[in-house]
Amino acid sequence: MHLWFKACQCILLVINIITPSSVLAVTVKSATVSITANVIPACNAGSTSGGTTTFGVMNFGTHSTLSREIKLIGQSNAGAILVQCAPGVNYQIVLGAGKSSNVAQRYMTGSQSGQRVNYNLYSDANYTAIWDDTQGITKTANGLQEWVNVYGYIPAQSTPVADSYIDTVQVTVSW
């Protein structure tokens, strides 16, 4: 009987070795990982096509005479200024003087020397605040795209020779 007892101890020992509690004993360690993102105070302005940023063309249209004033409000992709900045970012838009080098006396020129059409750009619908190249306008972004209106004005003046008149104005958005 003594032998049978030893045999039973061995069997019990073997059974004890392969039981689930000893096979599934797992050591667990955990740690944390930090997840970050930075939102910078930045802006996008204008539309980009072929690597060139533009605000479109502000077209006063076709006229046979300039004996009456002409008013125009820039529209999306046609003279209005598209800006999108991170929420809360203060930004400024200034407009250059164009060919005249004087924001108070902007003009468009045609192909014939000495011929021009006087005009100006304003930041208000009353056409009283000339949009200049130093103060411009300042706004606070809400994070959404915003079309900022530009108000164009051609005063009554002597009509120059028939031609296509053009000027190019630098738009600068800073933040």
81 vs 104: CA distance, rounded Å: 20
Q: Which of 99, 86, 83, 63 is nearest to 136 (CA)?
A: 83
Could you give the 3-state DSSP secondary structure of residue 21?
Answer: helix
Average pLDDT over residues 136-158: 97
pLDDT the model gives residue 2: 53
In the numeric block, which tokens belong to residue 87? 């929420």
Tens digits of per-residue pLDDT, 73-96?
A: 999 888 899 999 999 999 999 999
Across all residues in the chain, what is the average pLDDT?
88
Tens digits of per-residue pLDDT, 93-120?
A: 999 999 999 999 999 999 999 999 999 9
Residue 15 CB coordination number (10 Å) = 9
Residue indicated by tokens 């999108």: 84
Tens digits of per-residue pLDDT, 157-168?
A: 999 999 999 999
CATH of domain 43-174: 2.60.40.1090
In the numeric block, which tokens belong to residue 10? 């061995």
Could you give the 3-state DSSP secondary structure of residue 8?
Answer: helix
47 vs 32: CA distance, rounded Å: 42
